């Protein structure tokens, strides 16, 4: 699976730790999903100019075979808001970079004082 947008100007990786309070199966059960059939194995989200859409990726146990799991992406009529989605994770880290820079590591970390500028300058 790979994230994809129209131009793919930035690409990267992400990692997440599941919440201590609720896992993806609990979330699906709370939304009325049959978790005996749909086994959650991941999630996806999409954001564009203020809109947000989150889905849960599952293995459909009824349509899966020994050779190949049948993967489905479950969407919800009642949209999942950003806070609800990110609360499914204890930590969520995403990195996107341009062009071929994803092959390199970050060499240093800087903190910039971006406070208000003096109008007298």
Q: Are 16 and 30 in contact (CB under 8 A)?
A: no
Establish if 73 belongs to a structural domain. Answer: yes
Establish if 47 belongs to a structural domain. Answer: yes
Range(s) of the domain holding residue 44:
22-103
Burial of 7 (C-beta count, 10 Å sphere; 0-12/13-18/19+): exposed
**In 10 A of CB 80, how many CB atoms?**
20
Report the domain count for the chain: 1
Q: Are 40 and 58 in contact (CB under 8 A)?
A: yes
Establish if 34 belongs to a structural domain. Answer: yes
Largest CA distance in the chain: 71
Establish if 117 belongs to a structural domain. Answer: no
Reading the chain (121 residues) residue by residue, the pLDDT tens digits are 889 899 999 999 999 999 999 999 999 999 999 999 999 999 999 999 999 999 999 999 999 999 999 999 999 999 999 999 999 999 999 999 998 898 899 999 999 999 876 665 5
Give the distance, in angstroms, between the CA of residue 17 and the centroid of all CA atoms in the same chain: 11
């Amino acid at each position: 699976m790979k994230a994809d947008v129209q131009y793919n100007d930035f690409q990267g990786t992400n990692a997440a730790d599941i919440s201590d309070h609720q896992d993806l199966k609990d979330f699906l059960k709370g939304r009325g999903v049959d978790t005996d059939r749909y086994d959650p194995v991941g999630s996806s989200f999409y954001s564009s100019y203020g809109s947000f859409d989150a889905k849960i990726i599952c293995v459909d146990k009824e349509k899966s075979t020994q050779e190949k799991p049948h993967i489905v992406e479950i969407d919800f009529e009642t949209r999942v808001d950003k806070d609800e989605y990110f609360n499914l994770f204890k930590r969520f880290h995403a990195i996107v970079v341009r062009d071929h820079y994803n092959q390199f590591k970050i060499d240093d970390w800087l903190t910039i004082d971006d406070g208000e500028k003096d109008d007298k300058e």
